Amino acid sequence: MVESACDIFDKPRALPKLCATTFANSASCLAKDAAFARAYGGAGPAVPRTTLFFFLLRDVVTMGCAFVLPMPLARLTGGSPRAAQFACPVACQVLFLFFLSTF
């Protein structure tokens, strides 16, 4: 749909496609996380907005660690870009877990 609209208006596809994909993935992940929080949280039907914010922040930081950080890190350390692509999101999740445990 985004590609068709870009073709009609003769615009580049990359940024609109990235934005649409990010919005769709983030919205579906937030809905999934909220459903899990309601199902297993036991606090009632409403999920606090701060919880949803931290879910979204976790997803955005993980995407940054998965797509932006690996190449500069591989260049900096002289390591394999492929290894950095696997290690960065995992390390990000572990660091984010410690960050959230302080709240």
Q: Where are the domains of the chain?
A: 1-44, 48-103
CA nearest to 69, candidates 80, 84, 55, 91? 84
Long-range contacts at 89-92 (CB < 8 A, ≥ 24 apart): 89/62, 89/65, 91/65, 92/61, 92/62, 92/64, 92/65, 92/66
**Cβ count within 10 A of residue 12:** 8
Most confident of 40-44, 51-55, 86-90, 93-97: 86-90
Higher pLDDT, 52 or 78: 78
pLDDT of residue 75: 92
pTM value surpassing 0.85: no
Whether residue 103 is predicted with pLDDT greater than 70 in this model: the reply is no
Higher pLDDT, 103 or 35: 35
